[in-house]
Structure 1
Amino acid sequence: MAKKELGKSGKNITYDLNHQIIRDSYVKLIKNLKRKPTIAEVSKDCNLSHNTIDKHIKELKFNPLKHPLRILSDDVILSIVNSAKKGSSASQKLWMQICEGWTEKQVIEHEGEIITGIEYITPNEDKN
């Protein structure tokens, strides 16, 4: 019996190829649908069985992404840029906050007496 060639995952090559196809389809469908796709939608897009998709989806990792929809962040940033270029002050402000680290100055108002200095007298000192 011939030994099966293992892929990067430690499973066979077909598994790794299917996993990449499913991952790419998942990301594409998120972008197109603007939501998390169903197993049936991924299955139809990949031309793979529902069971195959179900097994792979449980193991999908989007590192370093924390949430699968973060794949859309580039599109959102580009939309902010385009809106800012068209003169949207809200988009311009958001761009400066996200990309340039700009923050608005904050004024903190205090109520009550202002103490300018405190004189400390040690217990052994005389006040003569």
Structure 2
Amino acid sequence: MPAPNYRGRSHPYLEAKIPTLSHADSMGQFVRAGCTRCKAIHLYRPADIRTVVGGDMHVFRLREVLRCEKCGRRDEMVVEFKTLMGNEISGLVIRELVEVRMVKKPIWRDRKL
């Protein structure tokens, strides 16, 4: 497993060994995303994150994609895959994807005729 300060530039053979969202989903793991600045921590299902991100990514690329919901920063995010035991799952709070909304924003310009 590469170091946490991994920036995404490695040999493709080594890159293929890093666990992805589909691997975590098949193993029953959760995505734990936390912000080191405001100390907000949330657990997600990997399939929900894959729907939002739009593809299968490995854990170190998720740091660059996810944003903290409290402070809005990306550079302070820590993302990891967590395997939980049976006694830890009871009463666990997980953020679940309800829907994805696409916002249409018109962009106008003034043009002289």
Provide the TM-score with structure 1 as the length reference: 0.23
Select the structure of larger CA radius of gyration. Answer: 1
The higher-RCO structure (CA 8 Å, 6+ apart) is 2
Which has the larger share of strand?
A: 2
Bigger proportion of residues as helix: 1
TM-score, scaled to structure 2 = 0.25
